[in-house]
Chains A and B, each alone.
Chain A
Amino acid sequence: MANPKPEELARIEYKPPKTGWMDTPAEIRKGMFCHAGKSKSLEYVGLPNPRQWTVMEEDWKLPENWQEIFIEGLRERVNKFRSFRLFLDICVRCGACADKCHFYIGGGDPKNMPVLRAELLRSVYRKYCTTSGKIMGKIAGARELTVDVLKEIWYYAYQCTECRRCSLFCPYGIDTAEITILARELLNLLGLNIDWIAGPVANCYRTGNHLGLQPHTIKDTFDMFADDLETFTGIRVNPTFNRKGAEILVVVPSGDFFADPGTYTTMGELLLFHELGLDYTWSTYASEGGDFGFFTSNEMAKRLHSKIYAEAKRLKVKWILGGECGHMWRVWHQYHNTWFGPMDFLEEPVSPITGTKFENAKSNKTVHICEFTSDLIKNGKLNLDKSRNDDLVVTFHDSCNTSRGMGFLEEPRYIINNVCNKFYEMPPNTIREQTFCCGSGSGLNASENMEIRLRGGLPRANAVKHVVQKYGVNMLSCICAIDRAALTASVDYWVPGTRVTGVHEMVGNALVMKGEKKRTTNLRGDPLPGMEGE
């Protein structure tokens, strides 16, 4: 389906319809949703109620007792997650969150206001789990769980990227991500997953990464990286895989093995590790940092992430180094330690190059590569030639998860400022903790839902446009694999001509290595500034 022109898409009507939201059934529209999850994907990992079903068909082939399953699941979860129960109970509908959501800003659908997105489920909770809702019904904001209501919950649970921007502004910290995460769990009880999540989940489970790359393919991919790097630098990197006894296990999002521009980030990392002579290994078994289970259910998230834990144990490494990825870091930072801790078979992470102890990761033993690299730069361990990135006018997109789930703001900026000369920030209300989602996070990076992705991408892209016009920015840097894929599509549409890069790609470009040949191109094979004629 062709997308409308940007001018047309940006004509947004924010006025809500005349009829109340409970009386306005959701209109399920093409371009706004992802295809249904395939039954073989669900079967492979044993998710309940696998079947072939189609979103646009009237009959979703729900199990007979679907209502009971959903409500039982809801009751179970309000007794397991205080966050969930509290957030269903205490919203005062002040509306502060309304215009904080990128989907609402870019689409104007009132049910994409975080408060209303939550009310969709809250109304069902009131009906079946509270006395006033049971007795007073609609006047208490309660409603029956009908098939239409279920479809509505599904439709909007997959129009939320769990970015937590609304949670920042909520006076009670109500986090729509929690609501969406648990709504998706409930939908998964009924087999209502989407293909772009269910497929990657099954792939991660089987092959260790969401792309389904098998071990030899990963090895081949890295050989290609090594070939390219040898051409550019004259140096042959020799990464190892599944090597026991290495000091560090490196895990990055597998998107960075496969698709440009993520691949350049991996290449930058390979150069860095080689230059340092780091004793590290990749794993083909734990070859995915991004946890697609997190978009399915807490249990599925734990099932997938346990590979990293198990692999670190099997390979007897000392600690784990994680690549540039958004939600992978949300999971690693806020969930991993609780699922698998205490990590007593690992050692408290210490940089073998600088001797710096990573105090903030002493229990979980997992270090972010930007922490690792910024420490190297601070200690003067890297020889960096910023001018090699002089063709780039750079801005930085904070990922939702690293900014609002970690507070990881300065580390990447410190690196960027040390590897390039021209760095400009986007407007303050669109960066750091107030950053906007790329528009395609939490498993919504499919092609069939392009309209909603572009709409959700508008706030970010518009801020990029601002710095493009003001400072001539031509490179949008980020530390997330989904960003690298999603922002590429979004800026192509809204701000054509802007490109996307990972931070470690720029590190790889600037890194002056021992014994390297005179570099004439960057890691993309494009001529370096001043080398255009050579």
Chain B
Amino acid sequence: MGLIFSFFTVVALGVIVFIGVKAADMRYLFGVIIPYAAFFAFLIGIIYRILQWARVPVPFRIPTTAGQGKSFPWIKQNTIDNPFTSIGVIIRMTLEVLLFRSLFRNTRAELRDGPKLSYGSTKWLWLGGLAFHYAFLIILIRHLRFFLEPVPLPIEIVEALDGFFQVGAPVLYITNLIFLGAVTFLFLRRVVIPQVRYISLAADYFPLFLIGAIGVTGVLMRYFLKTDVVGIKELTMGLITFSPVIPQTIGTIFYIHLFLVSALFAYFPMSKLMHMAGVFLSPTRNLANNNRAVMHVNPWNYPVKAHTYDEYEDEFRNVMKEAGLPVEKE
């Protein structure tokens, strides 16, 4: 149900723009108003969500320790997976955010007759996830050529590297292939692996379809349908400089692409995509494992009712005395 719903929602988004631009000529709406609105929803929404988390305290220091903790000098500590200091935490978080270290550990359990359980290393999800995120990032950086004038050298370099093989004209970007491949992989594993299909919600399929559709429309626009790139940059630079213009030479495919991106931006803060910000705040990863050496303060720590020693002794004084155990009151 979630799959079909998500698929048709994304199709509907495309159709809306197609009709809106082709039939009703609502270019200003799709080219200016919606992108602005989506951008601000994205910016404000993400900040709002982060602040929502930030308002909630971290009452306890609960890192998941993934290696030997700090002990005696003669026991080798795993300073990355079980950090004792902030520097260790920074390294752990960097590896987590940039290289998906936890996912790299992934294993696959298999039960054979016997019974015999075995656990093999499996890196496909890690590889697919990494490929997807990095391809997305590079594509995003490449797109800065439409938002910066003059285009700074680093962005030209990224672009040159991405088109390194100089296949076709316009030059084929390697990341486009990786991106579409990775999205397809992530989608297929969701559908093919029964367990993953079972846990998948509309909220999982929708962003996949949306991002996939953004990729497909982008590729169509660049390599097949082709449209006025100079006009597009005039439009984007108009947005960036708050003096919007709508060149009439831009094809509908661009508006579809832009609208889907706007939809992704607007959807981002209210979705699971917030893991982008959330991963930084995860208390099982971003805390040092030094609980016994440094006191962690819980702002809402409150006194609790306990069974005091006096109450205990009052109940058991006689048997304690008989057993020769010391007591406070005779």
* Bound-state Cα–Cα, A168 to B97, Å: 15
B296 contacts the other chain (CB 8 A): yes
* Bound-state Cα–Cα, A79 to B203, Å: 24
Interface stretch of the complex, out of B112-120, B167-175, B253-261? B112-120
A15 and B194 contacting across the interface, CB-CB below 8 Å: yes
Q: Which residues of B contact A219 (CB under 8 A)?
A: 323-325
B201 and A364 contacting across the interface, CB-CB below 8 Å: no
A208 and B102 contacting across the interface, CB-CB below 8 Å: no
A215 and B323 contacting across the interface, CB-CB below 8 Å: yes
Within 8 A of A (CB), among B267-322: 270, 272, 274-275, 278-279, 281-285, 289-298, 300-301, 304-309, 312-313, 315-316, 319-320, 322
* Bound-state Cα–Cα, A403 to B115, Å: 26
Q: Which residues of A contact B322 (CB under 8 A)?
A: 216
Q: Which residues of B contact A338 (CB under 8 A)?
A: 59-61, 291, 295-298, 301
B111 contacts the other chain (CB 8 A): yes
B62 and A83 contacting across the interface, CB-CB below 8 Å: yes
The interface size bin for chain B is 35 or more
With A86-B53, A89-B274, A139-B5 known to touch, is A105 a contact of B109 (CB < 8 Å)? yes
B69 contacts the other chain (CB 8 A): yes
A80 and B56 contacting across the interface, CB-CB below 8 Å: yes
* Bound-state Cα–Cα, A169 to B129, Å: 14
A92 and B66 contacting across the interface, CB-CB below 8 Å: no
A462 and B282 contacting across the interface, CB-CB below 8 Å: no
B72 and A356 contacting across the interface, CB-CB below 8 Å: yes
A146 contacts the other chain (CB 8 A): no
Instruction: Choose among A78, A216, A339, A462 the residue that contacts B117 (Cβ–Cβ < 8 A).
Output: A462
* Bound-state Cα–Cα, A124 to B289, Å: 32
A404 and B295 contacting across the interface, CB-CB below 8 Å: no
B198 contacts the other chain (CB 8 A): yes
Q: Which residues of B contact A314 (CB under 8 A)?
A: 309
Instruction: Choose among A171, A220, A341, A408 the residue that contacts B323 (Cβ–Cβ < 8 A).
Output: A220
- B199-221 to A contact mask, C-beta < 8 Å, 1/0: 11111100000000000000000
* Bound-state Cα–Cα, A361 to B289, Å: 11
Instruction: Choose among B197, B198, B199, B293 the residue that contacts A363 (Cβ–Cβ < 8 A).
Output: B293
- A73-84 to B contact mask, C-beta < 8 Å, 1/0: 000001111110
Q: Which residues of A contact B227 (CB under 8 A)?
A: none
Q: Which residues of B contact A90 (CB under 8 A)?
A: 272, 274-275, 278-279
B78 contacts the other chain (CB 8 A): yes
A406 and B69 contacting across the interface, CB-CB below 8 Å: yes
* Bound-state Cα–Cα, A169 to B293, Å: 27
* Bound-state Cα–Cα, A330 to B301, Å: 18
Instruction: Choose among A79, A173, A206, A361 the residue that contacts B285 (Cβ–Cβ < 8 A).
Output: A173
Residue of A nearest to B276 (CB): A90
Instruction: Choose among A95, A178, A206, A414 the residue that contacts B62 (Cβ–Cβ < 8 A).
Output: A178
B200 and A93 contacting across the interface, CB-CB below 8 Å: yes
A94 contacts the other chain (CB 8 A): yes
Q: Which residues of A contact B308 (CB under 8 A)?
A: 310
A362 contacts the other chain (CB 8 A): yes
A94 and B59 contacting across the interface, CB-CB below 8 Å: no
* Bound-state Cα–Cα, A168 to B284, Å: 9
- B246-265 to A contact mask, C-beta < 8 Å, 1/0: 00000000000000000000
Can you offer 10 A-B residue contacts whose CB atoms are under 8 A?
A: A86-B282, A89-B53, A90-B274, A93-B204, A115-B199, A139-B2, A168-B105, A171-B275, A360-B69, A363-B292
